[in-house]
Structure 1
Amino acid sequence: MKNKKKELNSYAGQYICISKAMSFTLFSTIQYLYAY
Structure 2
Amino acid sequence: MPQSSNYLPCAVIKADYLRQILTVWVKFQNLTNSAAIFFAT
Both proteins in one fold, TM over 0.5:
yes
Q: Which runs of 5+ in 1 are unaligned?
A: none
Number of paired residues? 34
Q: Which runs of 5+ in 2 are unaligned?
A: 35-41
RMSD: 0.8
**TM-score, structure 1 as length reference:** 0.82
Q: Which runs of 4+ in 1 moved over 3 A?
A: none
- Bigger radius of gyration among the two: 2
**TM-score, structure 2 as length reference:** 0.73
Q: Sequence identity, in percent?
A: 12
